[in-house]
């Protein structure tokens, strides 16, 4: 079955360490996204990518970095510059482009990665 796989599901990090969260999809979607969710709050966009080797900053990109070397993969690195990294991280994908009637208006999410900084 097609879907999005995120790993690890739970991750603990010491302050000052960089960590990388994996996101792999086999949906053949061009667009991929990373969102951060804090307890009781909505989703905030960190980065998104519409095509290989290109990505755009979202609303809260500071302290994070991404790469898009393959269509299927969009890893997120949480760097030591991120001051409050403890959160639930969600990767998503969608068809790229298209108007209001296209499948580009639907996001498919992975199961998430919960990062805790000790």
- In the complex with other proteins, the residue whose CB is nearer, 43 or 80, is 43
Instruction: Tell me the C-alpha to C-alpha distance, in Å, between residue 50 and each of 36, 53, 68, 114, 115.
Output: 19, 9, 9, 25, 25
- In the complex with other proteins, the residue whose CB is nearer, 16 or 99, is 99
Q: What minimum distance in Å lies between the beta carbon of 76 and other proteins?
A: 15
Q: What minimum distance in Å lies between the beta carbon of 108 and other proteins?
A: 7
Q: What is the 3-state secondary structure (H, E, C) of 54-98?
A: EEEECCCCCCEEECCCECCECCEEECCCCCCCCEEEEEEEECCCC
Binding site for other proteins (CB under 8 A): 31, 33, 35, 40-45, 48, 50, 56, 58, 90, 94, 96-101, 104-112
- In the complex with other proteins, the residue whose CB is nearer, 12 or 18, is 12
């Amino acid at each position: 079955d097609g879907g999005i796989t995120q790993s690890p599901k739970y991750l603990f990090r010491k302050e000052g360490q960089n960590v990388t969260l994996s996101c792999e999809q086999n949906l053949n979607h061009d667009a991929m996204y990373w969102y951060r969710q804090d307890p009781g709050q909505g989703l905030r966009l960190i980065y998104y990518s519409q095509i290989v080797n290109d990505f755009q900053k979202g609303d809260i990109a500071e302290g994070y970095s991404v790469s898009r070397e393959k269509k299927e993969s969009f890893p997120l690195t949480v760097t030591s510059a991120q001051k409050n990294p403890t959160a639930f991280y969600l990767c998503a994908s969608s068809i790229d482009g298209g108007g209001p009637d296209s499948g580009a208006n639907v996001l498919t999410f992975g199961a998430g990665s919960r990062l805790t900084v000790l």
